[in-house]
Structure 1
Amino acid sequence: MSSSVEQRTESARIVEARERYVTRGVATPPLVVARAEGARIWDVDGREYVDFAGGLGC
């Protein structure tokens, strides 16, 4: 038996629930956005991303 405990992120928990209950799209990214300001996005685990493609599909 392993003594290590697996730490799941909040994103992983939400994505797992989404995969179980919501029909997937063509390209469903495993990103759970908590907030955004301009081109900056933060996920529910506090990681920051820059949206380089924002608005291209508009």
Structure 2
Amino acid sequence: MDSVINNDDIYIYPELADINPMNFDEVNRCVEEGRKATLKVIDDINRKIAEFQAKS
């Protein structure tokens, strides 16, 4: 990764390693994996939103 990761970044990594990106039949599975990965970091997301709103 060429860019710098800073404290404002939240990365969401869904488990997609075994999914062929050309197989559009697995779209629902991709969405579900993204949802599960997002739920793992939802507290971090909400905390960042609250911090941003407190600064505004």
| TM-score (norm: length of structure 1) | 0.28
Which has the larger helix fraction?
Answer: 2
Flag the structure with higher strand content. Answer: 1
Relative CO higher for 1 or 2, CA cutoff 8 Å, sep ≥ 6? 2
